[in-house]
């Protein structure tokens, strides 16, 4: 039955208006995020569907229900055998709450004038969907109306007008049998007043429990009172932190590109140098990079440009942040930032000249609010060329008599950046594409520490295990971890790949037993090649065992020298793994953090390391559980899961705002090209002036 026949008149008129507005729009790329018009159509279809009769109905996730991978690859690279270039479906996947249940719907929005619900299911397992922004705002408005809380604030000598609150997921701490049906969160409060850094001034010991479906306080405790830390010295804003400033200010500078930007953005497709890729947006994952392919000049045939596949789809799947204080107000702080809060929901407009340089271009996004209406998010992602002063490659040769040969190529890369401000922490998430064929993934942490109020005023008073560092008077910054897990569906020159561990192995020669040992060399190392057969073989602890090169190879593609083409996985620092007990409840929810590298066969439904329903999840639907199936991964379409991890021991320099700390990984070609691809890249400024502007003097260097 066509949906149009079922729509109430107001929704029908809205859908028709959307259709009229979208009629002249070009057909979207199959991986484009849902547009405002499509989100509006999704809302109309869900609200009109008799499959979800309960009200009120709230939208918790609306994202692209991506087409089948073979069809997308056929669309992007041709080759036949898949859907035609103009016939791929446009569908949305929706998680909505109504009647105390989580409903999953798939909605066809290919025709915005007649959207239709294709399927419906009710989630019966453990866990709940992402918290909406609106319900968090509603929850933090409850404490000032709760008399016991008002009395707690009065006893501490705090003005209620200075109090701000935040919502904290409760985690999961037992009860494997019956999934928890009560959707609750804890609300903790802080004192702002004379500082923007209210996280530095907690009302320690006070906890409220809110039922999010009923939007009512169902629990309250004022367990212990500590002095509220002072506001002095906590504000990070320039007008509050200084002047006076220490030392001279660095000289200002700008990036100048006399011929304009070197990249081109067509909708969501970015083309730069030898790279082409698609930039998407998701309210849970944030930035999504898809169909990254590199142009190989040495592989061109008949004058036709050849694009070679590298990455089908990549995004941050989860950020796990457990704190290390076991007391009542802290033990449950074991955040799953993507699944509980939504990285895209907490990505705010980027600041030109601060977050991104002057030569950046910006991409906007849309997501669904709690009522299903589209919300525009301006300047969510920036794209810019980075001129860092680094060297791509160089050599100076002094071996020729009376001649010095120097050849240098400056390193220029393209960066796609998003910044996620998940409560107190800020995550700067970079995807950096290099002309060498590498992709660097960098996560940089900054923002504000989560601190605990205490009676301690000096380090000499601190007990043996205070669970953190005294960073200011009455202020302990609690120990914690950060685990950023990437979902990277690598397709190295095709979908049939294998995971290889090239293990560095020491060899000690026995001069007496080795007849060929006719040199004084006693030891060396060689490489032992291991091809992972099953998922258990694809799990790697980077801190244990012998060092190894980790490579995704395509066994069906070889160079002219006979080497399998591949891409290496190069750790870029921050390789900590969780040290929590395996049977501890937070660790069971995020068991995948015990290994930094995991490889699984591609599955369209396996996207979120913490499972589809992360809030109050039990760990039964996620990366660690999938890996236990021990499926075959040799010569298959496989996915790399890489966790950037660090143990954060705070120091005073991290307070009141933390200097940026970075980690990540690099996907680096390994026998993918016949030679260094930079040799076929034209040097910057070749045959024309190279301008280096320092603003103040306008000096230039010409070549």
Concatenated DSSP letters of 388-400: EEEEEEEEEE--S
Q: What is the C-alpha to C-alpha distance for residues 50 and 696, in angstroms, rounded to an integer?
A: 67
User: Do 548 and 616 share a domain, yes or no?
Assistant: yes
- Give the 3-state secondary structure of residue 249: coil
CB-CB contact of 126 with 180 (8 Å): yes
User: Do 279 and 422 share a domain, yes or no?
Assistant: yes
User: Do 355 and 433 share a domain, yes or no?
Assistant: yes
**pLDDT value at residue 8:** 43
Nearest alpha-carbon partner for 190 in 451, 526, 532: 451
Q: Name residue 112's beta-bridge partners.
A: none
Q: What is the C-alpha to C-alpha distance for residues 556 and 553, in angstroms, rounded to an integer?
A: 9
pTM above 0.85, yes or no: yes
Token pair recorded at residue 594:
């015990």
Asked whether residue 250 is assigned to any structural domain, the reply reads: no
Domain with 148 in it: what CATH number? 3.10.450.40
Q: Which sequence positions are flagged as catalytic?
A: 337, 425
Angle between helices 9-22 and 36-48 (to 10 degrees): 160
User: Do 87 and 202 share a domain, yes or no?
Assistant: no
Distance of CA 319 to the CA centre of its chain: 7
Count of structural domains, the chain = 3
Q: What is the C-alpha to C-alpha distance for residues 554 and 313, in angstroms, rounded to an integer?
A: 17
CB-CB contact of 312 with 497 (8 Å): no
Put residue 574 in one of left, alpha, beta given phi > 0 → left and psi -120 to 50 → alpha: left
Domain edge (last residue) among 93, 122, 151? 122
CB neighbours (10 Å) of residue 303? 5
**In which order are the strands placed within the sheet that holds 206-211?**
163-169, 184-191, 206-211, 216-222
Put residue 175 in one of left, alpha, beta given phi > 0 → left and psi -120 to 50 → alpha: left
Asked whether residue 158 is assigned to any structural domain, the reply reads: yes
Q: Name residue 431's beta-bridge partners.
A: 416, 441
User: Do 173 and 212 share a domain, yes or no?
Assistant: yes
CB-CB contact of 41 with 15 (8 Å): yes
Phi, psi for residue 608 in degrees, rounded to 5 = -110, 120
**pLDDT value at residue 514:** 63
Domain edge (last residue) among 90, 122, 154? 122
User: Do 430 and 320 share a domain, yes or no?
Assistant: yes
User: Do 174 and 311 share a domain, yes or no?
Assistant: no
Asked whether residue 8 is assigned to any structural domain, the reply reads: no
Asked whether residue 355 is assigned to any structural domain, the reply reads: yes
Q: What is the C-alpha to C-alpha distance for residues 34 and 566, in angstroms, rounded to an integer?
A: 33
User: Do 215 and 277 share a domain, yes or no?
Assistant: no
Domain with 536 in it: what CATH number? 2.70.98.20
Q: What is the C-alpha to C-alpha distance for residues 489 and 310, in angstroms, rounded to an integer?
A: 9
For the chain (703 residues), the mean pLDDT of every run of 10, in chain order, is 36 44 67 97 96 94 97 86 65 97 96 91 96 98 98 96 97 70 94 94 98 97 95 90 74 83 96 97 98 89 74 98 97 98 97 94 97 96 94 94 94 97 96 97 97 95 90 97 98 97 92 69 93 97 89 97 97 95 96 97 97 96 94 98 97 97 98 92 56 37 26
Asked whether residue 290 is assigned to any structural domain, the reply reads: yes
User: Do 374 and 314 share a domain, yes or no?
Assistant: yes
User: Do 96 and 147 share a domain, yes or no?
Assistant: no
How many CA atoms lie less than 13 Å away from 132 in the CB half-sphere?
23
Domain membership of residue 103 as a residue range: 28-122
Q: Name residue 278's beta-bridge partners.
A: 269, 290
User: Do 442 and 324 share a domain, yes or no?
Assistant: yes
Asked whether residue 35 is assigned to any structural domain, the reply reads: yes
User: CA 683, 415, 654: angle at the middle one, nearest 5?
Assistant: 125
Q: Is the four-CA dihedral 321, 326, 327, 332 of positive or negative sign?
A: positive
CB-CB contact of 218 with 207 (8 Å): no
Asked whether residue 386 is assigned to any structural domain, the reply reads: yes
User: Do 399 and 307 share a domain, yes or no?
Assistant: yes
Asked whether residue 393 is assigned to any structural domain, the reply reads: yes
């Amino acid at each position: 039955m066509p949906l149009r026949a079922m729509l109430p008149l107001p929704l029908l008129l809205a859908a028709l208006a959307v259709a009229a507005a979208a009629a002249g729009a070009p057909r979207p790329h199959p991986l484009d995020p849902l547009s405002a018009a499509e989100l509006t159509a999704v809302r109309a279809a869900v609200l009109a569907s008799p499959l979800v009769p309960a009200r009120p109905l709230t939208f918790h996730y609306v994202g692209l229900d991506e087409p089948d991978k073979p069809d997308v690859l056929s669309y992007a690279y041709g080759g036949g055998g898949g859907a035609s270039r103009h016939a791929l479906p446009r569908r949305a996947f929706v998680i909505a709450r109504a009647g105390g249940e989580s409903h999953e719907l798939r909605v066809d929005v290919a025709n915005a004038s007649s959207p239709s619900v294709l399927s419906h299911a009710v989630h019966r397992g453990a866990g709940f969907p992402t918290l909406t922004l609106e319900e968090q705002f509603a929850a933090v408005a409850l404490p000032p109306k709760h008399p016991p809380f008002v009395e707690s604030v009065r006893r501490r000598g705090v003005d209620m007008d200075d109090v701000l609150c935040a919502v904290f997921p409760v985690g999961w701490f037992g009860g494997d049998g019956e999934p928890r049906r009560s959707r609750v969160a804890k609300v903790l409060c802080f004192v702002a007043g004379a500082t923007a850094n209210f996280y530095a001034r907690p009302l320690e010991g006070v906890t409220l429990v809110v039922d999010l479906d009923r939007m009512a306080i169902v629990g309250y405790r004022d367990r212990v009172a500590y002095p509220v830390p002072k506001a002095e010295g906590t504000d990070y804003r320039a007008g509050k932190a200084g002047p006076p400033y220490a030392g001279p200010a660095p000289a200002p500078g700008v990036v100048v590109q006399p011929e304009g930007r070197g990249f081109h953005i067509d909708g969501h497709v970015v083309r730069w140098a030898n790279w082409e890729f698609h930039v998407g947006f998701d309210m849970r994952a944030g930035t999504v990079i898809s169909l990254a392919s590199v142009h190989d000049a040495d592989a061109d045939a008949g004058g036709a440009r050849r694009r070679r596949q590298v990455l089908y789809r990549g995004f941050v799947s989860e950020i796990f942040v457990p704190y290390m204080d076991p007391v009542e107000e802290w033990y449950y702080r074991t955040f799953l930032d993507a699944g509980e809060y939504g990285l895209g929901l907490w990505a705010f407009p980027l600041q030109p000249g601060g977050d991104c340089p002057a030569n950046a271009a910006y991409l906007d996004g849309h997501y669904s609010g709690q009522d299903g209406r589209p919300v525009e998010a301006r300047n969510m992602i920036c794209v810019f060329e980075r001129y860092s002063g680094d060297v791509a490659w160089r050599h100076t040769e002094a071996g020729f008599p009376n001649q010095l040969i120097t050849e240098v190529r400056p390193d220029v890369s393209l960066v796609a950046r998003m910044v996620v401000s998940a409560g107190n922490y800020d995550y700067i998430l970079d995807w950096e594409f290099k002309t060498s064929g590498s992709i660097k993934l960098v996560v940089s942490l900054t923002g504000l520490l989560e601190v605990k109020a205490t009676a301690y005023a000096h380090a000499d008073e601190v007990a043996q295990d205070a669970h953190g560092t005294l960073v200011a008077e009455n202020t302990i910054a609690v120990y914690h971890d950060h685990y950023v897990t990437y979902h990277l569906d690598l397709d190295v020159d095709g979908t049939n790949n294998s995971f290889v561990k090239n293990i560095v192995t020491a060899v000690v020669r026995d001069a007496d037993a080795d007849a060929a040992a006719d040199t004084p060399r006693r030891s060396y190392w060689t490489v032992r090649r291991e091809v992972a057969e099953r998922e258990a073989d694809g799990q790697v602890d980077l801190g244990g065992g012998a060092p190894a090169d980790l490579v995704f190879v395509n066994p069906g593609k070889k160079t002219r020298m006979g080497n399998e083409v591949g891409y290496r996985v190069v750790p870029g620092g921050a390789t900590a793994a969780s040290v929590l007990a395996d049977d501890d409840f937070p660790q069971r929810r995020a068991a995948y953090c015990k290994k930094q590298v995991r490889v699984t066969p591609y599955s369209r439904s396996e996207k979120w390391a913490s499972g589809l329903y992360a809030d109050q999840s039990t760990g039964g639907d996620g990366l660690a559980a999938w890996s236990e199936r021990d499926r075959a991964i040799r010569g298959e379409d496989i996915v790399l899961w890489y966790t950037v991890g660090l143990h954060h021991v705070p120091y005073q320099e991290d307070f009141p705002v933390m200097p940026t700390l970075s980690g990540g990984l690099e996907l680096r070609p390994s026998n993918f090209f016949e030679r260094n691809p930079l040799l076929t890249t034209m040097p910057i400024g070749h045959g024309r002036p190279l301008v280096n502007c320092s603003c103040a003097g306008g000096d230039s260097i010409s070549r």
